[in-house]
Amino acid sequence: MKRIGVDVRGTFTDLVLWDDDGTVTVHKTPSTNHDPSIGTMDGIEVLAQRAGIDVGSSSPAIRASRRRSAC
């Protein structure tokens, strides 16, 4: 199973894709503050290309969480 983690911030959106075999692919893309989904989906497309995944043939499974901490 492949998993994607996304961290949307003010300037950049960071994405990581990891597989059960330990393969990790990372990507950083400019955030699109007017619509964060644009930067997220653009980044997912790049991750998929780098990992050799055909996004059109993948089954989506989405779980979202947002935590904010004052560090």
Domains of the chain: 2-54 (3.30.420.40)
> What are the Cα distances from residue 37, in Å, to 17, 23, 31?
17, 25, 9
pTM (2 d.p.):
0.74
Higher pLDDT, 48 or 55: 48
* Element housing 4 (H / E): strand 2-8
Per-residue pLDDT reduced to its tens digit, 1-32: 788 888 888 899 999 988 889 999 999 999 99
CB 53 within 8 A of CB 69: no
pLDDT of residue 2: 80
Question: What does the mean pLDDT of the chain come to?
Answer: 81
pLDDT of residue 28: 93
Higher pLDDT, 38 or 68: 38
- The tokens 């930067």 sit on which residue? 39
